[in-house]
Amino acid sequence: MGSVPKDYGDLIGAVDQGTSSTRFLVFSSQTHELVALHQKELKQSFPKEGWVEEDPKEILDSVLECIEKTVEKLKAKKIDPKKIKAIGITNQRETTIVWDKKTGEPLHPAIVWLDMRTAATVDNLINKTETKDKDHLQPLCGLPLSTYFSALKLRWLMDNVEAVKTAISEDRCMFGNVDTWLLWNMTGGVNGGIHVTDCTNASRTMLMNIRSIQWDDELCRFFEIPKSVLPEIRSSSEVYGKLTLGPLKDLPISGILGDQQAALVGQGCFEQGMAKNTYGTGCFLLYNTGTNPIISKHGLLTTIGYKLGKDAPVTYALEGSVAVSGAAVRWLRDNMEMIKDAAEIETLAKQVENTGGVYFVPAFSGLFAPYWQNDARGVICGLTQFSGKAHIARAVLEAVCFQTREILDAMNQDSGIRLTKLQVDGGMTANNLLMQIQADLLNIPVIRPAMLETTALGAAVAAGMAIGVWNEKQKADVSTVTEFQPSVTEQDRMSRYSKWKLAVQKCMHWEGHGIDGLAQG
């Protein structure tokens, strides 16, 4: 006789559409356990230096394939897919998609959040402000003028792509981040698809007023973006519509959170002063500031943490965003061919006890928080004849940790309350060496949950709450965490950190610093 399948109770599905891969995961609403998942890596294209694109149709197809394969895996475990009661969506934020509402066809490849093509647009817009300051709009939207955010990408498309200009003039252009593109297609597309985003994703566009949680007239005027192309802003936890295709047809889609906000929810950071750091393609530290937005004075972003229900209050967060963390490992693998698989970096870096004085600043897309320098570029400093690839691999891991340290310093200054521990999640946290280096450089314990899928879990929480099968206060089992304690001296920590700061200065204002700079220098 076959074994009786475990009863997980009601299940909730979560689409986790990230920068480098798409996954569909199914969780138990009772125990928060992961029941099944399927993952598919995504292609990225780099048509010019600093440009990063993805194919919107490939993104959509990957989601539908992951749903289909996960349902097959559930059936193989003798679990009835009808036990899935709702679906949540979590997504790479800021990535910008424009499409034709009459044909459903994308008008241009998706411009990924990392993309740098809008650098000149940023400079022009900064010059347009009264104060000539990148933080001029911060009181309205919580964000600095940067290549990172969607309004800049949309403005670039309107200025440079004839198909987009024409579609806007003919009132058939739709804009959205990945959540909106997926939701519109999954709820019918040209046949009644719902053009909606949630407030966490909207807060990353530079077009939403951080207090009113609506598209802001002044911001739309500043960027000269018509409101007609923008989706409706809703909460992060409500029924938006029903899935119209695939094996889970007719299921409600009832949760949307940008990926970093989803991790905040998945980690259970529901109280003011709680924080989490997610290590993925980039690195993102979010700190719950409660129901009041704090405007940063130290290079952090003011963002929406979550709004779990139509009538629920908005919870705000401070965010420190690092453009390149896992992407640096991918660069070592794909561009430098130093490793065959991302997981190999730990083995390689462990071959040496330290970096041998090598420092790596992965400013491939400029520097994000706390510097916001579009013209910075990557550097490797401190090389000697003694330096080998193990030193460089270890320097890549240390770079991730140094960048987190800089953000944590800024967060402590903005909030006035020092963090006493750091909760972590994301694919890179499986690397024990990385986690130990992080604890050493922060001088606080780093806490890693046994279940690392907290981003997808956050989307499941939002979706489940909307249909009444998930209790927000129901916490995942925290008894199975791994804690990494600091193990180096203060002198060693500060010596390495000051060298890192020196390396960062070396990479600043690199772009555009050519013959003219030499002549002036």
Provide the pLDDT for residue 516: 46
Distance CA 217, CA 224 (A): 10
pLDDT at 477 over 80: no
Provide the pLDDT for residue 3: 57
* Prediction pTM value: 0.86
pLDDT mean across residues, the chain: 91
Q: Comparing 12-26, 143-157, 364-378, which segment has the lowest mean pLDDT?
A: 364-378
- Percent over 70 (pLDDT), the chain: 95
DSSP string, 278-325: EESSSEEEEEEEETSPPPPSSSPEEEEEE--STTSPPEEEEEEEES-S
355: DSSP letter: -
Provide the pLDDT for residue 271: 87
Alpha carbon 440 to chain centroid distance? 25
Provide the pLDDT for residue 520: 42
Higher pLDDT, 412 or 360: 360
pLDDT at 475 over 70: no
For 163-197, the pLDDT digits (tens) are 999 999 999 999 999 999 999 999 999 999 999 99
Provide the pLDDT for residue 472: 56
Burial class (CB in 10 A: 0-12, 13-18, 19+), 34: middle
For 93-246, strand residue ranges (E) read: 97-100, 110-111, 173-176, 196-198, 232-234, 237-242
pLDDT band at 420 (very low <50, low <70, confident <90, very high): confident
For 132-161, the pLDDT digits (tens) are 898 899 999 999 999 989 999 999 999 999
Within 170-295, residue ranges assigned H as helices are: 178-186, 199-202, 217-223, 259-266
* Identity of residue 7: D
Per DSSP, what are the bridge partners of residue 284?
A: 278, 321
Alpha carbon 168 to chain centroid distance? 28
For 69-83, the pLDDT digits (tens) are 999 999 999 999 999
Provide the pLDDT for residue 515: 43
For 482-519, the pLDDT digits (tens) are 999 999 999 999 999 999 999 999 999 888 655 444 44
pLDDT band at 280 (very low <50, low <70, confident <90, very high): confident
CA distances from 207 to 149, 157, 212 (A): 10, 16, 12
